[in-house]
Chains A and B, each alone.
Chain A
Amino acid sequence: MKKKIGKQVKMSESELLSSVAAKLKGKSLFPEKVAEARKLIRNLKYFPDI
């Protein structure tokens, strides 16, 4: 539910999160970290049995 404050329209928290979620959909948020992790894993010297 939007609340009017003067001439501004303020989003509710739920609307804000939905708006952010829509902008982030399908995107990698931390691509550099994932790339570093991938590099680290590819160069592992030892990993124990699972």
Chain B
Amino acid sequence: MNAEKYETKEEDRSQKGVKYLFTSKGNSPVVKAVHYEYIMNLKELSVYNLGFGDYKDDNINTENGDVYKVFNTVLNTIPKFFELFQNAIIFVMGSDSSPNFVEKCKLTCKKKCTSLCKNQHRRIKAYRYYVDKNFDALRKDYRFLGGKLNIDNQTIIEEYIPHRIYHSVWVMKNNI
């Protein structure tokens, strides 16, 4: 990943995970945090949630004029994380994909959405777009899985196929 990014500061490393902090220096300085937090074990591997947001509120997307640089900064923490937690799986699901997001969004949103919330699933779409676009290069080092609902509304996880619609993305190093 050679794209422009911010320098991150590693903090609070333990078996429960690790945090990376950085300052977005767009229109105004905003402290942002990436937190890889232990969820539980699955198939003898530890699963960590990739959480990201403004230091004060994850549900705020500060329009600071540097969205691509911030996104690249977050992505750049992934190989750093795997250097520390080699036998881990990263679970990614956007904060705007949670069941109660739409209800919360309507309280403050200025978009006049009718049936579909335009802000819902924006984050996971951004992650999926990146994975889809760079899949051949990424799969040299990483294995990807995608989460989706079956006809009975149950979550199944499958080997990631680019351009499919997944509500969660799972990443692990190859050859675990």
Contact = CB atoms under 8 A, between A and B. Distances in A.
Interface in B154-168: 154-159, 168
Contact of B150 (A14, A36, A45): A45
Given A21-B9, A30-B53, A37-B49, A45 B95 contact: no
Interface string A23-38: 0111011101110111
Interface residues of B, number: 42
A21 B145 contact: no
Nearest to A21: B11
Contacts of A25: 11-12
Interface string B68-94: 000000000000000000000001010
Query: On chain A, which size bracket covers the interface?
Result: 20 to 34
B12 A21 contact: yes
B101 to A, nearest CB: 10
Contacts of A44: 154-157
A20 B58 contact: no
Interface string B25-47: 00001010101010110111101
A28 B33 CA distance: 11
Interface string B131-168: 00000000000000101001010111111000000001
B93 A45 contact: no
Given A21-B12, A38-B39, A29 B145 contact: no
A48 B43 CA distance: 9
A34 B58 CA distance: 13
Interface of A: 13-14, 16-18, 20-21, 24-26, 28-30, 32-34, 36-38, 40-50
7 contacts: A21-B11, A33-B51, A34-B37, A44-B155, A45-B156, A46-B158, A47-B43
Please list the 4 inter-chain residue pairs (A to B) with the smallest Cβ-Cβ separation, ordered nearest first: A30-B51, A45-B154, A29-B35, A21-B11
